Amino acid sequence: MSELRTLFSRQQIAARVAGLGQQISMDFAGESVVLVGVLKGAAIFLSDLARQLDLDATFDFISVSSYGNQKKNSGEVKLLKDVDQSMQGKNVILVEDILDTGLTISYLKDMILAHHPKAFRIVALLDKKCRRQQPIQADYVGFEISDEFVVGYGMDHAERYRNLPDICVLP
Ligand code: IMP
Ligand code: MG
């Protein structure tokens, strides 16, 4: 693993996730929220973010196919697992690891809005703004990054590296 360069250390990630948690807790003070994690990349981020929320929170998970084992996005989004509960009337926070072209989140946003939630917000740990193909933005962003392929803290390349505690750049 010596070829990997650290982009954000575990300490930097923890500090930023705590900040996001505070912000979301203020915005939804006194309300309940449903955190909808996009499997598998957002699993670690969701579990850390959830513990920084001073709110009544439940979890749900959704799964879509995107990259397969390639570094490039096929442009096709396929739903592999839907949410378990209806999102109707709920404060839904979609939790994603990376907002890249925006295809995945645009698809999921339309899908969740069709449930008629009370509120809908997107939180993305990383935002590759320069790569966007769909006009979509996250309401909460951890870090904006340039066009580099990153792994660790839940994010993979061909399913590897998800368990790295730091976010690293794959050359
Ligand atoms: P989008 O539909 O292009 O926005 O794709 C977003 C998804 O692609 C994210 O949820 C990630 O799973 C994956 N992805 C995009 N960039 C990276 C990366 O640099 N490393 C790992 N996964 C990535
Ligand atoms: Mg993902």
- Ligand 1 atom at minimal distance to the Cα of residue 148: 19
pLDDT digits (tens, 9 = 90+) for 57-93: 999 999 998 655 455 556 678 899 999 999 999 999 9
- Strand order from edge to edge, sheet including 32-39: 78-81, 56-65, 32-39, 91-99, 119-127, 140-144
Cα(169) to ligand 2 centroid in Å equals: 16
pLDDT digit string, tens, across residues 151-166: 999 999 999 999 999 9
Determine the Cα angle at 118 with ends 83 and 122, to 5°: 60
* CA-closest residue to ligand 1 atom 5: 100
